[in-house]
A and B are shown apart, each in its own frame.
Chain A
Amino acid sequence: MSSSSGCDCAVLGGGLIGLAVAWRAALGGLSVHLADPDPGAGASSAAAGMLAPVTEAHYGEERLLDLNLRSAQLYPSFADELSRFTDLPTGYDTRGTLAVAFDRDDRAVLAETAAYHRKLDLESTPLTGREARALEPMLAPGVQAALLVEHDHQVDNRLLHRALLAAAVRAGVRIHRSAAEIVVEDGRARGLRLESGEVLATDQVVLAAGCWSSETPGLPPGALPRIRPVRGQILRLAMGTQPLLARTIRAMVRGRYVYLVPRAHGELVIGATTDELGFDTSVTSGGVYELLRDAHEVVPGITELALVESRTGLRPGSPDNAPLLGQTALPGLIAATGHYRNGVLLTPVTADAIASLLIDGTIPGYAVPFSPQRFGGPSCA
């Protein structure tokens, strides 16, 4: 009943990361199969698509910042190459980001952020509230101060996913709309078994299953540091033909963060909550209320927009918020997961690093600190 087809590489997960890895590997001449019951249904389509290494920089995550900056630099050529390969848009948009502070306490946090940027040589320009409102007239009069970050961009992650799916198919990747189990023989990964029983036999299995990575059937205990789901609730509003904002606004409102990402085609994305409630994907009334309340404090005009979507995504949270890239403790199993808040941003660099590992057998130096084996025993489960 079960058949078997051999390939150079089998990818589990057809989100942005899995598809980009598969596409790059196939361009490099490998025969690639990919399994996903519903490609792009997870965090890839929920995300806001911010490419924001600077405004996402956090104390203690300086190594991750380096990787984020590297991926941001890859984005223009990555998006361009993808669009040329598929004749599809990605919505890559370089209009920049404005971080704004709502009250006096928020302004103090923003000033600390600006000092942190200076210390790390990251480019950001402090603005007064008045200067910020000259750039973005729809900002509330109460906005106290802002930081203009020209190099934090955005991409439309839904367009990007559609383009990557098309690119993978065009490059010869075989897509199987099926869940899959990792086949382990003699202590190493030997392929993926699909629901039909068919086995994609290979010596290189790439695990790119986002927040479900640790739940993958067949995954031996201890093979991978624990990835947990971190729920984000996110809203989409319609601006129509009169865009409310010219660039992404990331606001701190009385100590809480909210972002508003305007798309060129008229969508306004507002997010996001951070809830650790397992695999529960409910949208809660409190989540929607808090997002709209805080967004309204910063941009009062949003009340006139149509609310067209409220949904959740589950971020794949690793123990240190940084991705797991490369060889796992199980020989033959390669991780490309655990990207937490930065999956969209880290798509190009992940694709390059993992494709290099698949094709040449070596992972580039910049990805070495993100080895899945960097944690001590207790983080593995």
Chain B
Amino acid sequence: MAETFTIGDRSYASRLIMGTGGAPSIEILREALIASGTRLTTVAMRRVAAGTRGSILDLLAELEIDVLPNTAGCLTAGDAVLTARLAREALGTSWVKLEVIADEHTLLPDPIELVDAARTLVDDGFTVLPYTNDDPVLARRLEDVGCAAVMPLGAPIGSGLGIRNPHNIELIVAAARVPVILDAGIGSASDAALAMELGCAGVLLASAVTRSQQPALMAAAMRDAVAAGYACRAAGRIPVRRFALASSPSRDESPAF
């Protein structure tokens, strides 16, 4: 891709952030991560322990992929802050993907707890990447408390429902001064491309790859889709017309108007 992708004080050559949840084995995860080209990958801190050899963290270190610890499974700001601090202690990174979910059925973010936790963690020196609802007002609040990016969902985690409200994602992108990363809901490559066409700076996905029938192949598809969507946005698409316009004009087209 033409430009690198910058969040906080880091730049990445890939705009695809991967998650590891649902991977059937370490070998399959390795192949998928390599195929995805990702340079930043999120790991649930409640499900892994630092220092276990042969673990997911070991694999990320070997592939030189930065670890983005997340607070998956936390239902209160208190839980999330504690989990983030334990992750910082264990991994020596002050970056965190902040998740505070409202309930276990929808796994939707709890907006009030989320803003509270984000404020506390930013004040504590963390680089906070919050997983949020696709609400432009909430996104602005998160930016206001000092988050380094905002990560609105396309649809509930693991649902593969795609981007249910593209208009809201556009509104978030239009107002944001920090990178907007589409997080959750991606099911297919076209969803990832759409996120980039809407102006997102990156895409975060896990299940779409790890739970697919051939994770490495799907990871490559997602890599290409993110690149294609980014290039498409940069190239500037044609205006939508109601009627046909022959691509080979019968007379010279003069400069517009």
Q: Do A and B actually bind?
A: yes
A residues near B, CB below 8 A? 58-61, 214, 226-229, 254-255, 275-280, 317, 319-321, 375, 378-379, 381
Least CB separation from B52: chain A residue: A278
Contact B62 A319 (CB under 8 A): no
B56 within 8 A of A: yes
Segment at the A interface, from B24-32, B183-191, B242-250: B24-32
Partner of B53, one of A60, A228, A255, A275: A228
Whole-angstrom CA separation of A20 from B105 in the bound complex: 44
Whole-angstrom CA separation of A214 from B53 in the bound complex: 9
B254 within 8 A of A: no
Contact B214 A227 (CB under 8 A): no
Contact A317 B49 (CB under 8 A): no
Task: Contacts A59-B214, A276-B49, A317-B25 known; list 14 others, CB within 8 Å.
Answer: A59-B24, A59-B213, A60-B24, A60-B28, A60-B215, A61-B25, A229-B52, A254-B105, A276-B47, A276-B52, A277-B48, A320-B25, A320-B26, A378-B62
Contact B54 A381 (CB under 8 A): yes
Contact status of A319 and B24, CB under 8 A, knowing A275-B47, A277-B48, A278-B51: no
Contact B49 A280 (CB under 8 A): yes
Contact B24 A58 (CB under 8 A): yes
Whole-angstrom CA separation of A275 from B45 in the bound complex: 11
CB contacts under 8 Å to A, within B57-75, are 58, 62
Contact A321 B24 (CB under 8 A): yes
Q: Quote the shortest CB–CB distance from B29 to chain A (angstroms).
A: 9
Q: Quote the shortest CB–CB distance from B75 to chain A (angstroms).
A: 11
B55 within 8 A of A: yes
Contact status of A276 and B56, CB under 8 A, knowing A58-B24, A319-B27: yes
Q: Quote the shortest CB–CB distance from A217 to chain B (angstroms).
A: 15
Whole-angstrom CA separation of A381 from B56 in the bound complex: 14
Q: Which residues of A contact B49 (CB under 8 A)?
A: 276-278, 280
Q: Quote the shortest CB–CB distance from A220 to chain B (angstroms).
A: 15
Least CB separation from A255: chain B residue: B158
Q: Which residues of A contact B24 (CB under 8 A)?
A: 58-61, 321
Contact A319 B53 (CB under 8 A): no
Contact B62 A228 (CB under 8 A): no
Whole-angstrom CA separation of A381 from B52 in the bound complex: 12
Q: Which residues of B contact A227 (CB under 8 A)?
A: 54
Contact status of A317 and B26, CB under 8 A, knowing A60-B214, A255-B158, A378-B62: yes
Contact B53 A381 (CB under 8 A): yes
Q: Which residues of A contact B58 (CB under 8 A)?
A: 226, 381
Contact A276 B53 (CB under 8 A): no
Contact B55 A320 (CB under 8 A): no
